[in-house]
């Protein structure tokens, strides 16, 4: 009986030790990840960026001229010109980009016209693409005081008189009608007639 009892005790001790070692093994396999403050802040920044992109308003811009696919493009607010040019397939071979600011942020309803090299050269020379010379005469129906005073013989007071007459009587029908303005008589008109227009 003693031998049997001692054997049972040994067996029970072995079983108990086995259970203990098995339990420790399971506990060691359990991982409790802890987010560092840096990773938490990074995840917050990513979340905020995604929210910002999702909440960005859409705008419409019209791209025309020397581009592969001119048209109206719907893009997120804050889009830059070079991004829309990519959407349009890029510029044509004869396009001139010297007058474009491709880093420009676009606005809703904006028109962007890409000129060809010939069109740009014509504009720089004061010639329209149709071949007609640009009209440098001052439109007396639309010019403000600053523009009117660029006419030789028209000072600030006469410019104000032209604007006052226009506001009271409406647009000038002919350039000769400017002689109805106080202070502008035939002598002055003969000197400025080649510098003014009504349309």
pLDDT tens per residue across span 36-61: 445 445 555 555 555 555 567 999 98
Residue 35, pLDDT above cutoff 50:
no
Q: Which of 73-77, 131-135, 167-171 has the lowest mean pLDDT?
A: 131-135
Q: How far apart are the first and last CA of the chain?
A: 129
Per-domain boundaries in the chain: 58-124, 138-197
Q: Record the pTM.
A: 0.39
Residue 198, pLDDT above cutoff 70:
yes
Of 1.10.10.10, 3.10.20.600, 3.40.50.720, 3.40.50.300, the CATH number of 58-124 is 3.10.20.600
Are the C-beta atoms of residues 66 and 116 closer than 8 Å to each other? Answer: yes
Question: Per the structure block, which two tokens stand in for 12?
Answer: 């029970």
Mean pLDDT of the chain: 77
Fold topology of 138-197: DNA polymerase; domain 1 (1.10.150)
**What was the pLDDT predicted at 9?**
58
Beta strands 58-65 and 196-197 are: unpaired
Phi first, then psi, for residue 59 (nearest 5°) are -125, 165
């Amino acid at each position: 009986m003693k031998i049997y009892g001692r054997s049972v005790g040994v067996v029970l001790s072995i079983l108990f030790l086995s259970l203990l070692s098995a339990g420790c093994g399971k506990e060691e396999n359990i991982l409790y990840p802890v987010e560092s403050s840096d990773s938490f802040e990074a995840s917050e920044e990513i979340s905020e960026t995604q929210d910002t992109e999702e909440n960005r308003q859409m705008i419409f811009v019209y791209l025309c001229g020397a581009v592969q696919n001119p048209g109206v493009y719907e893009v997120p607010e804050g889009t830059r010109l070079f991004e829309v040019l990519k959407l349009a397939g890029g510029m044509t071979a004869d396009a001139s980009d010297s007058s474009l600011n491709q880093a420009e942020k676009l606005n809703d309803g904006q028109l962007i016209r890409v000129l060809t090299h010939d069109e740009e050269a014509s504009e720089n020379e004061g010639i329209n693409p149709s071949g007609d010379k640009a009209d440098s005469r001052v439109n007396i129906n639309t010019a403000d005081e600053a523009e009117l005073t660029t006419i030789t013989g028209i000072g600030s007071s006469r410019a104000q008189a032209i604007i006052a007459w226009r506001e009271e009587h409406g647009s000038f029908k002919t350039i000769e009608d400017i002689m109805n303005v106080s202070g502008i008589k035939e002598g002055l008109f003969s000197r400025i007639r080649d510098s003014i227009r009504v349309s």
